[in-house]
């Protein structure tokens, strides 16, 4: 006789979830606190920062970030330049505050990147630096790496350069407010926002032409409301995509500077496997939104609606096409074996988020040296060989935290609904799914995506990828971060 699954009340599920999420950072050996020697070095660094002589405080920089953000890596301003544009893109200058080989540097190498947990971020650098002295906060004179991109009428980069200079951001914008001002046609930053739209749309067209693809996956956040966790899925605003393309453009320009200069660290990714592409085309047909043979991959993805559960399943499958992202180091004029980032459709590297990602600090210093025709600093060359594995280690931890958090919240949401039947789409068959039957043999199984609510989980029974099924919820375990279904005959 089968055992009746344990079914917690909704309140109990949320209480258990809160405890589970609070314990996750410690389980993954993540700490918000910094060692005393880091705090002491931070106090000395922010007391007397040495700013560069070059002065670009004349430029009308603004920042645009989520509401309430204080770790501001980037600021921009855009001017019309004949038929094209001149884009100034300022990136926070970390070397002003981080002594190579010092306590802050060593701790940053250990952490790798800022990691975002359900109850707040675990920063890469002390907040006195990342949210204070180095952050491009409005009205404050800051040191920055200032990129100057000259674009032609199509948005293609005609020339690019980067150098350290003093800047002052004029205003801090948020996405929703900036989009509203642009749509309404008013506001103090209307001219630069219109230019951002023009450049963003031009760069999106270039991405389409070169076969690149930016996945328009909805942002998923774990929110806390009246002591209850929930999942919020938010469609990205157009202005977020345009702003993202400024960062993408800078990463591509940085990769070109590195390749031309003979020393650098690229963010690379191999092309999708042909069999995976064929399988993805089958799934798009089964999910009711076939990918036309004549349509570019990126154009197809940009036409999907991330709030539609079937389209969400397609986006999930699309993400699996591109695997194997990593970092490729080359020095002394070497030609790296791999230079392309397949999803971008061009050579690319990370240089636009140094407050939150370790590798960017070194990439910026490399690009500034190449622009100036100077040797790459010794402290950069000494760190390059270890950066790929340091970034891989921190990314694995960040991805694991994200996955367990999301799956734990989904389990908590589904605990009160054990025994209910749902409509679902089959994402995959086999893999880590399936369970042991009464005879001890492994049963068929796979992964399914519910249509409402949009929860993903393991499922027992015979499954064909891309097909519609009816499934019953048989398990929702917060501690194991597991949701399991069975196919209803």
pLDDT value of residue 296: 86
Q: What is the DSSP letter of 48?
A: S
Q: For residues 241 and 316, give the distance between their C-alpha atoms in angstroms, rounded to a whole number.
A: 19
Backbone φ and ψ for 485, nearest 5 degrees, come out as -120, 170
Q: What tens digit of pLDDT does each residue of 474-483 get?
A: 999 999 999 9
pLDDT at position 297, please? 85
Tell me what percent of the residues of the chain surpass a pLDDT of 70. 92
- What pLDDT does 41 receive? 98
**Predicted pLDDT of residue 213:** 83
Cα distance between residue 39 and residue 109, in whole Å = 16
Distances (CA, A) of 372 to 105, 161, 183, 351, 375: 25, 9, 41, 17, 9
What value, to the nearest 5°, has the Cα angle with vertex 273 and ends 348 and 291? 90
- Tokens linked to 288: 């009711």
Does the pLDDT of residue 256 top 80, yes or no? yes
Residue 231 has pLDDT above 80, yes or no: no
Can you give the pLDDT at residue 18? 86
Helix axes 238-261, 358-372, angle to 10 degrees: 60
| Residues contacting 260, CB < 8 A, separation 6+ | 370
pLDDT for the residue 6: 54
Burial of 447 (0-12, 13-18, 19+ CB in 10 A): buried
Q: Which of 34-38, 99-103, 171-175, 220-224 has the lowest mean pLDDT?
A: 220-224
Would you list the domain boundaries of the chain?
A: 15-261+349-410, 418-487
Per-residue pLDDT, averaged over 415-424, amounts to: 92
| pLDDT band for position 4 (cuts 50, 70, 90) | very low
How much is the average pLDDT of 35-59?
A: 96
SS3 191: helix
Whether the Cβ atoms of residue 443 and residue 437 lie closer than 8 Å to each other = yes
The mean pLDDT value of the chain amounts to 90
pLDDT of residue 1: 33
User: Model confidence over 188-212: pLDDT tens digits?
Assistant: 999 999 999 999 999 999 999 998 8
Residues 347-401 have pLDDT tens digits of: 999 999 999 999 999 999 999 999 999 999 999 999 999 999 999 999 999 999 9
Question: So what's the pLDDT on residue 439?
Answer: 44
Highest mean pLDDT out of 118-132, 232-246, 277-291? 118-132
pLDDT of residue 431: 57
Highest mean pLDDT among 269-278, 318-327, 331-340, 374-383: 374-383
Which band of pLDDT confidence, cut at 50, 70 and 90, is reported for residue 216?
low
pLDDT of residue 217: 67
Q: What is the DSSP string of 227-263?
A: TEEEEEEEPPPHHHHHHHHHHHHHHHHHHHHHHHHT-
Q: Please check the confidence at residue 280 and state whether its pLDDT lies above 70.
A: yes
Query: Quick one: pLDDT at residue 115?
Result: 96
Would you say residue 114 has pLDDT above 70? yes
Q: What are phi and psi of 108, to 5 degrees?
A: -65, -40
Tell me the C-alpha distance between 140 and 346, whole Å.
35
- For 25, the token pair is 């950072």
Q: Is the pLDDT of residue 436 over 70?
A: no
Question: Could you tell me how far CA 348 lies from the centroid of its own chain?
Answer: 15
Cα 327 to Cα 94, 264, 359, 389, 392, distances in angstroms: 21, 10, 9, 9, 9
pLDDT band at residue 438 using 50, 70 and 90 as cut-offs: very low
pLDDT above 80: residue 337 = yes
CATH class (in words) of the domain with range 418-487? mainly beta
Segment (H or E) for 474: strand 468-477
User: Which of 82-91, 135-144, 300-309 is predicted least confidently?
Assistant: 300-309
Eight-state DSSP code of residue 155: S
- Does residue 300 or residue 263 have the better pLDDT? 263
What does the pLDDT read at residue 2?
37
* Percent of residues, the chain, with pLDDT higher than 90: 67
pLDDT of res. 394: 97
CB atoms within 10 A of CB 459: 31
Quick check: 114 and 123 in contact, CB under 8 A?
yes
pLDDT exceeds cutoff 80 at 88 = yes
């Amino acid at each position: 006789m089968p055992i009746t699954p344990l079914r917690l009340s909704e309140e109990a599920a949320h209480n258990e979830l809160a405890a589970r999420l609070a314990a996750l950072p410690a389980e993954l050996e993540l700490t918000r606190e910094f060692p005393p020697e880091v705090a002491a070095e931070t106090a000395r660094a922010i007391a007397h920062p040495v700013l560069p002589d070059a002065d670009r405080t004349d430029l009308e920089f603004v920042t645009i970030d989520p509401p309430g953000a204080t770790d501001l890596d980037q600021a921009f301003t855009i001017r019309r330049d004949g038929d094209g544009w001149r884009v100034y893109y300022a990136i926070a200058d970390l070397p002003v505050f981080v002594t190579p080989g010092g306590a802050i540097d060593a701790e940053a190498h250990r952490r790798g990147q800022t990691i975002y947990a359900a109850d707040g971020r675990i920063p890469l650098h002390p907040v006195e630096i990342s949210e204070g002295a180095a952050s491009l906060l409005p009205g404050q004179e800051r040191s920055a790496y200032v990129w100057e991109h000259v674009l032609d009428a199509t948005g293609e980069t005609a020339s690019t350069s980067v150098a350290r200079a003093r800047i002052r951001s004029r205003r801090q914008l948020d996405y929703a407010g900036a989009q509203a001002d642009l749509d309404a046609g008013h506001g103090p930053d209307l001219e630069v926002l219109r230019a951002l739209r023009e450049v963003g749309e031009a760069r999106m067209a270039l991405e389409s032409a070169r076969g690149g693809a930016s996945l328009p996956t909805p942002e998923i956040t774990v929110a806390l409301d009246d002591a209850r966790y929930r999942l919020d899925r938010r469609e990205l605003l157009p202005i977020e995509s345009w702003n993202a393309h400024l960062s993408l453009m800078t990463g591509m320009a940085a990769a070109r500077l590195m390749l031309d200069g003979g020393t650098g660290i690229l963010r690379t990714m191999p092309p999708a496997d042909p069999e995976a592409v064929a399988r993805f085309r089958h799934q798009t047909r089964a999910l009711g939104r076939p990918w036309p043979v004549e349509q570019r991959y990126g154009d197809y993805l940009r036409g999907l609606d991330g709030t539609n559960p079937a389209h969400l399943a397609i986006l999930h499958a699309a993400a699996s096409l591109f695997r194997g992202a990593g970092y490729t180091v080359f020095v002394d004029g070497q030609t790296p074996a791999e230079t392309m980032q397949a999803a971008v459709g061009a050579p690319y590297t990370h240089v636009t988020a140094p407050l939150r990602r370790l590798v960017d600090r070194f990439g910026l210093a490399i690009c500034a040296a190449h622009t100036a025709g100077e040797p790459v600093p010794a402290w950069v060359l000494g760190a390059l060989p270890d950066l790929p594995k340091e970034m891989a280690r921190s990314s694995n931890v960040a991805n694991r935290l994200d996955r367990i958090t999301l799956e734990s919240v989904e389990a908590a949401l589904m605990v009160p609904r054990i025994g209910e039947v749902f409509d679902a789409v089959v994402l995959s068959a086999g893999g880590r799914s399936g369970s042991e039957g009464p005879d001890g043999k492994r049963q068929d199984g796979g992964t399914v995506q519910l249509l409402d609510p949009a929860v993903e989980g393991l499922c027992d029974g015979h499954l064909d990828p891309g097909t519609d099924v009816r499934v019953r919820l048989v398990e929702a375990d917060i501690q194991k971060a597991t949701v399991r279904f069975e196919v209803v005959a």
